[in-house]
A and B are shown apart, each in its own frame.
Chain A
Amino acid sequence: MSILLECSRLTKRFGKREVLKQIDLRLESGHIIGFLGPNGSGKTTMIKIMNGLLTPTEGEIRFCGGSIGAESKKYISYLPDQTYLNMNQKVKDVIGFFKDFYEDFEEARAYDMLEKLKISPDEQLKTLSKGTKEKVQLILAMSRKARLYILDEPIAGVDPAARDFILNTILTNYDPQASILLATHLIADIENILDEVVFIKDGKIVRHSSVDDIRIKEGKSVDAYFREVFKC
């Protein structure tokens, strides 16, 4: 069990608006962690900072003891919440691209998943449906043998059968040296595969505990507890 990510007094301000307020967070390896919070809670900002897409205003963030940069990006696999690939290429082209740039990319696994999801590698990305594009992006992220996977809404735009496949992939990929951070609104669907949850509200971490802990202490599911904490 090693410490993958450590944030101390992490703060982010956009002008006068403080989006992240003195966040302290520690993520260890070997867990599947739910990152839960409504829109505007700072969740996306936090994820962007972890991926080096934003720099903190104050405080520190360290990945495996080092700073966020070209080095940390080698070991973090990120699935953003939108289609981010250049659509003017074939599926196999983008797989080749990932293989080229990420040492930990497992090409065989990627092709295997494509086959199981019945996606042809020779298809042009722009001809694929939205759901299929998302599946391709997920395959790319999960085919890497990373230390931290950050999946932002991996099952939102995907049909229920594919959801099962995706959750199954996440489970069978489980590596005690790695962790998966799942940011999502569809808590009920993924609750069973999580063992840890982080609740973020108004730029602060309001709860960070195991799923069992919540079910025992609150006597309800994480989904139900979420609705309670974030009642409108």
Chain B
Amino acid sequence: MPWNLDSDRPIFMQILERIRVDIISGRYQPGDKLPSVRELAAEAAVNPNTMQRAFAELERTGLVHSKRTSGRFITEDREMIETLKVDIAKEKIQLFLDSMEQLGYDKEQILALMSQTLDGKGEQ
């Protein structure tokens, strides 16, 4: 998948998000080996230091751990991944609710619209 990076937000944050999504969606399985900083930086066409910063943050939160010389590996802690999945989902829902509020919808209207749209999607 091509890396679509926004130009007005720090890149390392966007990389962080993207890798998190990759982990949650299962593109990176727990225990998988992450490509090296350089490889991924070249693939994403970003500065290796920026990629390194993202990796460091991933390590800090425990999503990724490094095994000395063998490289970096995705955590095997499935619970952590689940928690992250829920957290991100909540973030996205909150963003959605904020924008719906901006449009002027209240709680019932939002739920009704959501049902409709989901049913419609199901019929497709």
Contacts and interface: CB of A to CB of B under 8 A. Distances in A.
A107 B50 CA distance: 30
Interface string A166-205: 0110011010000000000000100111110000000000
Given A192-B5, A212-B50, A168 B45 contact: yes
A221 B7 CA distance: 5
Chain A at the B interface: SS class: helix
Contacts of A215: 8-11
A167 B41 CA distance: 11
Contact of B7 (A168, A172, A188, A194): A188
Contact of A30 (B9, B46, B49, B50): B49
Nearest to B44: A192
A192 to B, nearest CB: 5
B11 A212 contact: yes
Contacts of B53: 212
Contacts of A219: 8
Interface string B8-19: 111110000000
Given A168-B42, A171-B41, A195 B47 contact: yes
A224 B8 contact: yes
A168 B48 CA distance: 12
B8 A220 contact: yes
B33 interface: no
B85 interface: no
Contacts of B45: 164, 167-168, 171, 192-193
Contacts of A93: none
B11 A192 contact: yes
B8 A172 contact: no
A221 B41 contact: no
Contacts of B12: 212
A193 B46 contact: yes
Nearest to A167: B45
A193 B8 contact: no
Interface in A205-219: 211-212, 215-216, 219
Contacts of A168: 42, 45
Contacts of A221: 7-8
Given A212-B12, A215-B10, A223-B7, A172 B42 contact: yes
B2 to A, nearest CB: 12
Given A192-B11, A212-B12, 4 more contacts: A193-B45, A195-B47, A215-B11, A224-B7
Interface of B: 5, 7-12, 38, 41-42, 44-50, 53
19 contacts: A164-B45, A168-B45, A171-B45, A172-B38, A172-B42, A174-B38, A192-B11, A192-B44, A192-B45, A192-B46, A192-B47, A195-B47, A195-B49, A212-B11, A212-B53, A215-B9, A215-B10, A219-B8, A221-B8
- By Cβ-Cβ distance, the 8 closest A-B pairs, closest first, are A221-B7, A195-B47, A212-B10, A195-B49, A215-B10, A171-B42, A192-B46, A220-B8
